[in-house]
Amino acid sequence: MHTPANPIIPLVEHWDSHPLDLIDPQERFKTSRWNYFLKDQASHVLAGYWEAEQGYEDLAGDDFDEVLHVISGNLYVTCEGKEMVAGPGATVVVRRGRPMRIAARERVRAFFICYPVPDPNGYEAAVRAAMKAKGIK
């Protein structure tokens, strides 16, 4: 049943079907833009696509787990002192409490799913507020 709390999700999601309107306010990458084409408040899930160039992010899945599926380019994943390359078709799993660095040395595009995000709408609002505080539009 379709309800406002449970919108109908498209069966096929195409890159650029939603604008890349979120930008990393911490400026860890030369560019880092993404969107959430799925925000499911009831299931605590965020999903979208992300593209980045030249930079890195240290992750530990502090608040939620994340799965990144690489579409193009390479992600360089360093965990426990070992660097691995995740290229097109590879999937990176970020588990809460497991520190890792994800680096982009060239343009990379990936789909992502974050879960369980306690308040998906609040999380997006916090990112947008941080962007606004930095003067990022």
Average pLDDT over residues 110-116: 95
Mean pLDDT of the chain: 90
Confidence class of residue 1 from pLDDT cuts 50, 70 and 90? very low
- pLDDT, position 79: 93
133: number of Cβ within 10 Å: 9
**Residue 81, domain member (yes or no):** yes
Average pLDDT over residues 25-45: 93
Asked if 108 and 73 count as a contact pair (C-beta separation under 8 A), the reply is yes
Asked if 117 and 39 count as a contact pair (C-beta separation under 8 A), the reply is no
Closest CA to 108 of 134, 136, 137, 70: 70
Asked if 78 and 103 count as a contact pair (C-beta separation under 8 A), the reply is yes
The CATH number given to whatever domain includes residue 51 is 2.60.120.10
Give the count of domains, the chain.
1
Whether 67 has a pLDDT exceeding 90, the answer reads yes
Confidence class of residue 10 from pLDDT cuts 50, 70 and 90? low
Whether 2 has a pLDDT exceeding 80, the answer reads no
Please give the residue range of the domain that contains residue 103.
31-133
**DSSP one-letter code for 38:** E
